[in-house]
């Protein structure tokens, strides 16, 4: 996500106090560990009528996977991973007490070419907040939190019980790594490139993001429409993040964002908060980043996840690796459908969630959707 690091303003207080066929699939984070494979677990297709005799078929030299493999998923326990904006100086400190978690930072240093843990723990804040650094930092720290959970009593049982995962924007990459769609190393390389490409796209045009607090999505859309009547095409705005009731982020050209801020009170918004991000994420302003991401994704080995990973683009799980690649490339220019994702999980019967990584932003969002939702924070 790219919407929750707030720029200081007079009003910018915290927004949240916030016989069915079955498949043997790899165990959680097995690709992250070097001390041999973990026991495999099985993901059960819950609707026998939708069961597939074969998960995939070979066409020439390519294997085609049925992308609807997880369409009938029935969630009970979820891992939720934060996105950009959750970073804070001091994160990663707890991870150093668990060897498997500390090892992830060492691997990251080799890939990134600098001491990531030092920046996480000591800052400076301005450096950690930059798009090119915060995205790798959150990815590594979130997966380190999984290792902290694994190390505690009963932690492995919790990990084994998780049957769905998702993440907010950047967090989708963390969720895919947890689900075994790609290795820790390959995921980090993608995240590094993603951050760099998004920063470059942001530098190419004057753009911004603002959170609109206290309006429903229909009213926010009307506000965007009104602002767009006053600016050129290059400064148009749109809803970029559907977070939760009463909190939606708008992205667009700088003049368009200023028009939104000027009109918000007349639409009875409680407040607007300009976001301290590089630019208009999750809009066409990020188009220059797409081709770089597509090339990197094409060169990356992606496998069918062992459990459903819910996409930010359409709030659906995807099983076909080629489809996952296309979805990830589209993600940087598509609105984040987080509210739909959370509501769908709860409607389908989700019982317990865990937020893994820095901060408690996702817990705050979940409680705004359903006050009774049960969530536990695992902070590294």
More confident residue, 277 or 226: 226
pLDDT tens digits along 14-72: 333 232 333 333 344 544 543 333 333 334 443 433 333 335 555 555 678 899 999 99
Q: Which pLDDT belongs to residue 275?
A: 87
- Which residues pair with residue 376 across a beta bridge? 354
pLDDT digits (tens, 9 = 90+) for 167-196: 999 999 999 999 999 999 999 999 999 999
Strand (E) or helix (H) holding 327: helix 321-331
169 is catalytic: yes
CB 79 within 8 A of CB 65: no
Structure tokens at 296: 């990197």
Instruction: Please name which of 98, 128, 126 lies closest in space to residue 116, comparing C-alpha atoms.
Output: 128
Is 2 a known active-site residue?
no
Q: Dump strand ranges (E) for 160-246.
A: 164-167, 207-213, 237-244
Q: What is the pLDDT of residue 48?
A: 35
Share of the chain above pLDDT 70, in %: 83
pTM here is: 0.85
pLDDT digits (tens, 9 = 90+) for 329-350: 999 999 999 999 999 999 999 9
pLDDT mean over 89-109: 97
CA 341 to the chain's CA centroid: 12
Among 31, 134, 142, 169, the one annotated catalytic: 169
The DSSP line for 282-325 is TSGGGHHHHHHHHHHHHTS-----SS-EE-TTTS-B---HHHHH
**Stretch 205-233: mean pLDDT:** 97
Catalytic residue among 282, 318, 334, 353: 282
**198-201, long-range: CB within 8 Å, 24+ apart, which pairs?**
198/131, 198/278, 198/279, 198/281, 198/286, 198/289, 198/332, 199/130, 199/131, 199/132, 199/278, 200/288, 200/289, 201/279, 201/285, 201/286, 201/287, 201/288, 201/289
Averaging pLDDT over each range in 51-65, 264-278, 288-302, which range is the top one?
288-302
Instruction: Note the pLDDT of residue 6.
Output: 40
Q: Is the CB of residue 257 less than 8 Å from the CB of residue 250? A: yes
H-helix or E-strand spanning residue 23: strand 22-25
Closest Cα to residue 308, out of 75, 82, 81?
75
């Amino acid at each position: 996500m790219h919407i929750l690091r707030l720029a200081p303003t007079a009003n910018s207080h915290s927004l949240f106090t916030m016989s069915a066929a079955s498949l043997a699939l790899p165990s959680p984070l097995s690709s992250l560990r070097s001390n041999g494979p973990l026991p495999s677990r099985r993901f059960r297709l819950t609707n026998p009528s939708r069961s597939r005799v074969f998960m995939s078929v070979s066409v020439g030299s390519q294997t085609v996977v049925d992308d609807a493999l997880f369409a009938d998923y029935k969630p009970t326990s979820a891992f939720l991973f934060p996105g950009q904006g959750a970073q804070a100086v001091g994160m990663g400190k707890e991870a150093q007490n668990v060897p498997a978690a500390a090892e992830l930072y060492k691997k990251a240093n080799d890939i990134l070419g600098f001491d990531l843990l030092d920046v996480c723990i000591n800052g400076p804040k301005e450096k950690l907040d930059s798009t090119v650094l915060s995205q790798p930092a959150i990815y590594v720290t979130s997966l380190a939190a999984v290792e902290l959970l694994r190390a505690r009593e009963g932690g492995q049982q919790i990990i084994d019980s998780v049957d769905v995962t998702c993440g907010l924007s950047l967090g989708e990459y963390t969720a895919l790594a947890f689900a075994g769609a790609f290795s820790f190393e390959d995921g980090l390389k993608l995240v590094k490139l993603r951050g760099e490409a998004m920063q470059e796209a942001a530098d190419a045009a004057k753009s911004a993001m603002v959170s609109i607090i206290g309006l429903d999505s229909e009213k926010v859309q009307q506000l965007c429409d009104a602002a767009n009547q006053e600016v050129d095409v290059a400064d148009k705005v749109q809803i970029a993040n559907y977070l939760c009731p009463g909190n939606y982020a708008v992205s667009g050209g700088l003049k368009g964002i200023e028009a939104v801020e000027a009109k918000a009170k007349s639409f009875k918004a409680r407040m607007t908060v300009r976001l301290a991000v590089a630019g208009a994420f999750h809009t066409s302003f990020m188009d220059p980043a797409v081709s770089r991401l597509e090339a990197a994704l094409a060169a990356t080995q992606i496998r069918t996840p062992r459990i459903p990973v819910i996409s930010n683009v359409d709030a659906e799980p995807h099983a076909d690796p080629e489809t996952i690649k296309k979805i990830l490339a589209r993600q940087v220019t598509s609105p984040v459908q987080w509210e739909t994702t959370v509501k769908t999980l709860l409607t389908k019967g989700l019982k317990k969630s865990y937020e893994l990584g820095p901060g408690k932003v996702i817990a705050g969002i979940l409680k705004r959707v359903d006050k009774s939702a049960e969530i536990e924070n695992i902070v590294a």
